Amino acid sequence: MSAALSISGLSKSFAGVRAIRDLSFEVPKGRTTALIGPNGAGKTTVFNMVSGVYGVDAGRITVNGTDVTHMPSRRRISTGVARSFQNIRLMSHLSVLENLLVGQHVRASSLAALLTPYRLIPNHRWKREARAALAESGLEAYADETVGALPYGVRKRIDLVRATLAGASVLMLDEPAAGLNPSETNALRDHLRALAAKGVTLLVVEHDMHFVDSICENVVVLNFGEKIAEGPLSVVRRDPKVREAYIGTDGED
Ligand SMILES: Nc1ncnc2c1ncn2[C@@H]1O[C@H](COP(=O)(O)OP(=O)(O)O)[C@@H](O)[C@H]1O
Ligand SMILES: [Mg+2]
């Protein structure tokens, strides 16, 4: 099976403290993988290195076969990798549709496309695509609503639609269920399953193990920056090293 994301021998220190040590794992294409571990284990640091916010001290990061290890952050979207943030980066004064159109601009490669006055063209292809993507996710009713007025769970899902419209095929989500109520969590779970069914690769950091269990085929467990286990959650959660890592934390079991 080919890897959408491949991390090999990755290391990172902050002021001499090793945050990530010789970390290697692969995220298979079209699958959903969880990156779990106690607070401070290094999960967000991995996301920051894959998205290019932090440089690496050693190791290699490959997205869809392209080595992105030293690629500037802004160019990495062209390889398909994108990240959603805990603080949603939608423009709250614009409508849902307008936010999606701004995201699609990222994907436009030619100057002509960038200069297209899409607001003046009622049935511009991007608008049709954006409306279709909203409909697919059951969010079409919100198309013309102002983002700032929408519930948090809806905004979160619109952020996902925006990322995929912008060309993301490998999506990293840092604690996507945090702050959501149970019905919003269910809607998010269905949305992520639908993305996975369309072939989008997901790497999810999440503390809610029921949520992880409901969407992830495979988990990678980090502790103090090292991989201590990898495999199906049902197997990994019985691993003595994993149980020990979670003692005294708010982790499951
Ligand atoms: N920018 C930074 N400067 C200094 N230390 C950092 C920085 N980012 C992360 N760290 C440290 O790296 C370790 C891993 O942090 P993090 O990746 O945020 O863990 P997690 O997301 O698993 O909770 C922690 O010890 C944290 O303090
Ligand atoms: Mg974190």
Last residue of a domain, one of 167, 183, 207: 167
pLDDT of 253: 45
Q: How many domains does the chain have?
A: 2
Contact of 147 with 139, CB cutoff 8 Å: no
Task: Order the strands of the 218-223 sheet from edge to edge.
Answer: 81-84, 170-174, 201-205, 32-36, 218-223, 226-231
Q: For 240-250, how does the pLDDT look when each residue is reduced to its tens digit (9 = 90+)?
A: 999 999 875 55
Q: Note the pLDDT tens digit of each residue in 144-168.
A: 999 999 999 999 999 999 988 888 9
Model confidence, pTM: 0.90
Q: Which residue from 10, 14, 50, 223 has its CB within 8 A of the most atoms of ligand 1, so it is best to mutate?
A: 14
Q: Which of 167, 197, 230 is the last residue of a domain?
A: 167
Distance from the CA of 133 to the center of ligand 1, in angstroms? 35
Task: Tell how far the Cα of 119 is from the centroid of ligand 2, in angstroms.
Answer: 38
Say yes or no: 156 and 226 in one domain. no
Nearest ligand to the C-alpha of residue 43? 1
Tell me the ligand closest to 19's alpha carbon: 1
What does the pLDDT average to over 18-28? 97
246/139 same-domain check: no
Q: In ligand 1, which atom is closest to the CA atom of 12?
A: 12
Same domain, 51 and 110: no
98 and 44 in a common domain: no
Could you tell me the residue range of the domain that residue 115 belongs to?
Answer: 89-167
- Atom from ligand 1 closest to the CA of residue 41: 22
Q: How far is CA 86 from CA 32, 172, 205, 246, in A?
A: 19, 11, 11, 23
Q: Are residues 76 and 190 in the same domain?
A: yes
Answer yes or no: are the C-beta atoms of 8 and 192 closer than 8 Å: no
**DSSP string of 49-69, one letter each residue:** HHHTSS--SEEEEEETTEE-T
Domain end (from 167, 199, 225): 167
164-203 pLDDT, tens digit each: 888 899 999 999 999 999 999 999 999 999 999 999 999 9
Distance 225 CA to ligand 1 centre (A): 9
Residue 69 and residue 29 in one domain: yes
Give me the pLDDT at residue 4, please.
Answer: 97
